[in-house]
């Protein structure tokens, strides 16, 4: 995670140059996944936008569209969570974070970020970021707020052989799960989407906590 991610970034900074490079590098792949997912149901708020269809799903940040995750194929699933189920999902996330901090669980790779109201991944305002992996110490930045609904939450996991632990926290053994609380739904709930690579799938979710596209 580049330190500049959490520092004020002047115009035409190296961070902006990196963003432009990644936009050029991944722009074609992002456009391809969006075309394969096709038109679908859109969920959005001020922080992020997501589209899901029978063909797959994707999500991107509003102010950093190159911060993108998407996949097509049989491994993509989504559901709408009413408020009680939404808080239960966040409680599982809290359990995951506490278990990681205590050293009770370890995965080959796990990255997570949560954007709260008014938050920005670019400058670290209103955001919590965690990154861990085999042979690396746990990295965190910002504050996890268990009593506040994030506007957007994304987890990338490669569990290695510990698939039972992934299931314990409601996560795929390998893939991405994201939670988006739309500005409006009829029941006040949230979109929970799981993008787990499957045979024949297209996947752009290798590094979801990175400030660049995947």
Instruction: Answer for the pair 196, 174: CB distance below 8 angstroms, yes or no.
Output: yes
Using CA atoms, how far apart are residues 132 and 26, in angstroms rounded to an integer? 24
Question: Residue 2 — pLDDT band, cuts 50, 70, 90?
Answer: very low
Using CA atoms, how far apart are residues 204 and 199, in angstroms rounded to an integer? 14
Per-residue pLDDT averaged across 132-142, rounded? 89
Q: Reply yes or no on whether the pLDDT at 6 is more than 50.
A: no
* Residues in contact with 158: Cβ distance below 8 Å, sequence separation at least 6, in sequence order: 107, 108, 109, 110, 174
Is residue 1 one of the residues assigned to a domain?
no
Is residue 2 one of the residues assigned to a domain?
no
Instruction: Answer for the pair 82, 195: CB distance below 8 angstroms, yes or no.
Output: no
Is residue 15 one of the residues assigned to a domain?
yes
Highest mean pLDDT among 52-61, 128-137, 179-188: 52-61
Q: How many structural domains comprise the chain? A: 1
Is residue 4 one of the residues assigned to a domain?
no
Is residue 5 one of the residues assigned to a domain?
no
Is residue 39 one of the residues assigned to a domain?
yes
Using CA atoms, how far apart are residues 120 and 60, in angstroms rounded to an integer? 13
Do β-strands 125-133 and 202-203 pair in parallel, antiparallel, or remain unpaired?
A: unpaired
Is residue 136 one of the residues assigned to a domain?
yes
Q: Which residue has the tokens 């893939």?
A: 175
Helices (H), 62-177: 83-101, 163-168
Per-residue pLDDT averaged across 32-56, rounded? 94
Domain hosting residue 187, numbered range: 10-214
For all residues of the chain together, what is the average pLDDT?
82
What local confidence, expressed as pLDDT, does residue 207 receive?
Answer: 39
**What backbone phi and psi angles, to 5 degrees, belong to 89?**
-65, -40
């Amino acid at each position: 995670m580049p330190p500049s991610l959490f520092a004020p970034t002047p115009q035409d900074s190296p961070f902006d140059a990196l963003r432009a490079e990644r936009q050029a590098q991944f722009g074609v792949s992002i456009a391809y996944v969006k075309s394969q997912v096709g038109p679908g149901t859109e969920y959005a708020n001020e922080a992020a936008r997501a589209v899901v269809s029978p063909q797959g799903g994707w999500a991107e940040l509003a102010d950093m569209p190159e911060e993108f995750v998407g996949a097509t194929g049989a491994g993509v699933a989504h559901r709408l969570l009413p408020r009680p189920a939404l808080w239960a999902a966040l409680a599982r996330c809290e359990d995951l974070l506490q278990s990681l901090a205590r050293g009770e669980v370890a995965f080959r790779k796990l990255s997570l970020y949560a954007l709260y109201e008014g938050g920005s991944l670019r400058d670290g305002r209103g955001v919590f970021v965690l990154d861990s992996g085999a042979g690396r110490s746990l990295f965190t930045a910002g504050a996890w707020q268990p009593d506040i609904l994030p506007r957007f939450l994304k987890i990338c996991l490669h569990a290695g052989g510990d698939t039972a632990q992934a299931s314990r926290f409601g996560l795929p053994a390998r893939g991405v799960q994201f939670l988006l609380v739309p500005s409006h739904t009829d029941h006040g709930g949230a979109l929970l989407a799981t993008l787990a690579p499957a045979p024949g799938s297209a996947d752009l979710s290798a590094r979801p906590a990175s400030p660049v596209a995947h």
